[in-house]
Structure 1
C-alpha cells in the first residue's frame, strides 16, 4: 500500500522538477516570484545567516541604538490654558519717576526782540569751526578765588558800555549804551571746574550760582527801534560766540528777561518759564550736579548722562522754578545739552542788548538766596 502511494506521488514531484525555468525568469511578463516555504526551499536557503561577522560581547558598536530620539522624547503639545488674563487695576497710577522728562514745548520765535537769521547762521558756523574746550586744570589759587566769588567780567567785542568793579570782590556795576547789540559778558574763570568739582571725582554734589540786580531797562529811548532792550542770565561752556545771548547756541543755557523764557541751545523762540524781569528784581541762576540716584541705562550712558542735574532760577531771594538738566530737548536744538552735563568747564554769562543797567554778584555774602 505504501509502495503504491509513493509511486502515485512520484510523477507529481517529477513534474514540479521538470517545469521550464523560463517561467521563473524576471523577464517573463507573467513572472511572479515563488513564495518561500519549507516545501519550496532547501535547508541552506531557509537558514542563511545575516551578513557580516556576529556581534561580539562588550562591543558597543554591535548594540547601536536606532536613529532618532526614543518616543518619550518627542515634543509634546502644551496643555491648553483656560485661566483668564491677570486683572489690571486702571485706578493705580504707574510710577513714572524713572522715565526721562518730556521735551519742552518750544517756540519758533520770541514775542519781543529777535536776532536776525544771518546772525544765527553765522553763530552756528562759528561753533562748528570751534569745538568745545577740554577741561582745564586750575591752580589752587584760582580755585580758591572762585569759591570766594572773586571773579572779573570780560567785555565782549559787541558790548558797548561800562563794566565797573566795586569795592567788594565779585561785585560789578554795568551800564550799556542804548544801541548796544547782542552781547554775552563772561567771567574770567569758570564757576564749575571738571577737575575740581565734578561729582564723578569728588563723589559729592556741586552747586554753582550767582545773582544780578536789574536797575534799569530801556534807558535812553528816543525811537521805537531803541525800545528793544533786555538782560539774560545763564551759563556757557567755552568757546562761545559772544555776539549771541546765553542759551542761543551750543553748550549754553539761560533765562531771558525780555520774554521770561528759558533757552537751552535754542536759536529759535525758547520755552515758557517765568515772567519778564522788572527794575529792582534780583534774579539768580544755579545748577546742582549730583551723583546719579539711579544708575543710568545703556541708552543714557551712550548719550553722556552720568550725573543728575538740576537747573534752578530765583527771584528776589525765592526759588522761582527750574528744570531737569537731562530733559529731552526739542529737535530744533541741534547738539542737545552737550557741554552742560558736567563734562565741560562752565562760565557765568550775562546777555544784554539795548540800554540796560544792572549789578552782578558772584560772592555768596551778597546773595539774597542761599543755594547751599
Structure 2
C-alpha cells in the first residue's frame, strides 16, 4: 500500500506542477510556408464552341488600383496620398495672355513678283558687290548741309544704268524721263535725307519724319508692250545702282508694278498696296521715335538702339497703309533691317525700268500730302 501510494502521489504531484507552473504553457511555433518543389503548373485553358482557346490566369492581380491609391473627386486621376508632397502649380487656361508686347506677326512673303523679275546674274553680282563694299558709318553733317535738307534742297544723281533725262526746274523738284526698254536703275540723293548724328531721336529726344513724293506722268512708251514702272525707297550707302531699292542690304521700297513692299528682300516681296498707275502721286515716309521698349525678336537680331520706326505710304494726298520696321521677319527670306533703324545715314532712292515720265518732290511746299 505504501509503495502504490507513493507512486501515485509522485505522479499527481508532477501533473499539478506542470499546470501550476508560473512560466505558463510552452510557446506555440508559427507555421512556415514554402513553395512546392518543381516548376509551376501549366496554365489552364478554357474553350468555347464559338472562339479560340483563352488562357485562364489563376495568379492574376486583383482588379482595381493598388492599396494606398485614391481618386480625386473632380479629376478622377490616381494620386498618391503623400501629405508632404506639394501639388503642381495651377494654370488657368481660360485667361487670355497680354500680347501687346509681342512683335507684329510676319507678313507672308512671295518667292517672285507676278509682273517682272530681274535676272539672276544681276542679283548674284549685287550680292558679291555688297560683300566687298560694306555700309558707310554715319558722319556729322555741317550746319549748311543739314539746313539744306530741311528746306528740301536735295539733289538726285544719275546712275550709270539710267538712260534718259533728269532735270531740276526748281529747288527740291526734279523731272525725269527714261527711254523705252530701259534696264533697272536706281537714282540716289547726293546727301542723306536722314542724318543719324543730327536726327536720331536717341540724341535729340524728338520724333523725326522723312518723306518725299513722286508723280507718275506716264508709264510705257513705244510700240508693243513696254514693261515699265517705278519704285520709291530708302537705303544706306553704298548701294548697287543696277538694282531696284528694297532688293539688297540696307534698303526698303514700295514697287509700283506689283504694289508690294520690299525690305532687304531679294525674293518677291510682301503684299502691301495696289500697283501704281499713271497719274498717281505717291509718297513714302519713315517716322523715327524713341520706343518705350522693344521685345526680343527671335526672327531678327536685337538692335542696339531702342528706336521705333514706322514706314508709311501715301497716294494722291491721302495716307494709306504702313508697317512696323521691327515686325517679326521671315528667317528664310528677310535679311534683317540693318542700316534702316536709325543707326546709319539714310538716302532717298528711286528705282526705274522701262519708259516712264515722273516728277520727284523733296520740298514740303509742293507735297500733295501734308503732315499734321
Give the TM-score normalised by the residue count of structure 2: 0.74
Q: Using the alignment, how far apart are the partners of 2:336 and 2:188 within structure 1?
A: 22
Change (3 A) 1:82 1:335: closer
Q: Does 1:89 align with 2:94?
A: yes
Aligned to 1:350: 350
Aligned to 1:192: 194
Per the TM alignment, residue 328 of structure 1 is displaced from its structure 2 partner at its CA by 2.4
| Larger strand proportion of the pair | 2
Per the TM alignment, residue 268 of structure 1 is displaced from its structure 2 partner at its CA by 1.1
1:111-151 Cα offsets, whole Å, 9 max, x none, are 11110111110000010110000002111001000000001
Aligned to 2:60: none
- The alignment of Structure 1 onto Structure 2 pairs a total of residues equal to 290
Per the TM alignment, residue 346 of structure 1 is displaced from its structure 2 partner at its CA by 0.4
Aligned to 1:248: 247
Q: Is this contact kept in 2: 1:305–1:326, CA < 8 A?
A: no
Q: Using the alignment, how far apart are the partners of 2:88 and 2:325 within structure 1?
A: 47
Q: How does 1:93-132 map to 2 (within 5 A)?
A: 93-132=96-135
Q: Using the alignment, how far apart are the partners of 2:89 and 2:289 within structure 1?
A: 46
Q: Does 1:275 align with 2:274?
A: yes
Aligned to 2:160: 157
Q: Using the alignment, how far apart are the partners of 1:359 and 1:259 within structure 2?
A: 20
Q: Using the alignment, how far apart are the partners of 1:163 and 1:341 within structure 2?
A: 30
- Local SS of the residue matching 2:146: helix
Q: Using the alignment, how far apart are the partners of 1:194 and 1:188 within structure 2?
A: 16
Q: Is this contact kept in 2: 1:286–1:311, CA < 8 A?
A: yes
The match for 1:209 among 194, 204, 211 is 211
Q: Is this contact kept in 2: 1:285–1:312, CA < 8 A?
A: yes
- Local SS of the residue matching 1:166: strand
Q: Using the alignment, how far apart are the partners of 2:117 and 2:97 within structure 1?
A: 42
Q: How does 1:169-318 map to 2 (within 5 A)?
A: 169-220=171-222, 222-224=223-225, 227-294=226-293, 297=296, 302-318=302-318
Q: Rg bigger for which structure?
A: 1
1:254-305 Cα offsets, whole Å, 9 max, x none, are 0000001000111111110000111111100011111112265597884445
| Larger helix proportion of the pair | 1
Question: Cα RMSD (Å) of the superposition?
Answer: 2.1
